[in-house]
Amino acid sequence: MPVQYYIFLSIALFCIGIMGVLMRRNAIIIFMCIELMLNAVNLLLVAFSKMWVDAGRTDAASAQLFVFFVMVVAAAEVSVGLAIIVMMYRNTHSVDINILSRLKN
């Protein structure tokens, strides 16, 4: 499969993620959209890695290491982020992010 397919898929996923972050107010959905964007990037990384390996560049496989990095960071982020959202729900009984604007003043 040509690499373009992966790129288009990745762009589509990334844009869905962005739109979700921008449009939705539910913190959990925003959270999921962020994950979606991260995975879009992961997909690209793997795709390009494969592409270069096929082209004969042996060192290109190391690009896949980044994917693991991103996944680890995302996992860490999920744990912190979900904890925050849980605390938020406990305090406000809502996961609407617009309620949390007390920093404004």
Partner 1 sequence: MIHLVWLVPFLPLLGFLINGLGRRYLSKSLTGVIGSGSVLAAFVISLFIFFEVRQPGFMPQVVTLFDFISVGNLHIPFAFQVDQLSALFLLIITGVGSLIHIYSTSYMHEESDEGFARYFAYLNLFVFSMLILVLGANYVMMFIGWEGVGLCSYLLIGFWFKNTSYNKAANKAFIMNRIGDLGFLLGIFLLIQQFGSVTFSDVFAQVPTLGENSGVLFAVAMLLFIGAMGKSAQVPLYTWLPDAMAGPTPVSALIHAATMVTAGIYMIARSNVIYSLAPCIQSIIAIVGLVTALLAATIALKQNDIKKVLAYSTVSQLGYMFVALGVGAYTAAVFHVMTHAFFKALLFLGSGSVIHAMGGEQDIRKMGGLKKWMPITNITFLIGCLAISGIPGLSGFFSKDEILANAFGFNKIIYAGALIGALLTAFYMFRLYYITFTGKFRGTHEQEHHLHESPAAITFPLVILAVLSVIGGYVGMPEVFGVPHFLGEYLSPIFAPSAPFLHAHHLSHELEWGLMGLSSGLVIIVIFFARSKFRQYQDNGVANTGLAKVLENKWYVDELYEAVIVKPLMVLSGFFQDTVERSGIDATVNGVGRGVKWSSRQIRLLQNGQVGFYIFAMVIGMIVLFVISLFL
Q: Which residues bind partner 1 (CB under 8 A)?
A: 18, 21-22, 25, 97-98, 100-105
Rounded Cα distance, 48 and 59, in Å: 12
Nearer to partner 1, 21 or 53 (CB): 21
Residue 34 CB, nearest approach to partner 1 (Å): 10
Greatest extent of the chain over all pairs of C-alpha atoms, in Å:
57
Rg (alpha carbons) of the chain, rounded to whole number: 18
Residue 59 CB, nearest approach to partner 1 (Å): 26
| Token code pair at residue 60 | 């290109």
Specify the residue for token string 């996923």: 13
Residue 25 CB, nearest approach to partner 1 (Å): 7
Q: Give the CB-side neighbour count of residue 105, counting CA atoms within 13 A.
A: 1
Nearer to partner 1, 37 or 67 (CB): 37
Residue 22 CB, nearest approach to partner 1 (Å): 6
Nearer to partner 1, 18 or 60 (CB): 18
- Asked if 57 contacts 66 with a C-beta cutoff of 8 angstroms, the reply is no
Nearer to partner 1, 21 or 41 (CB): 21
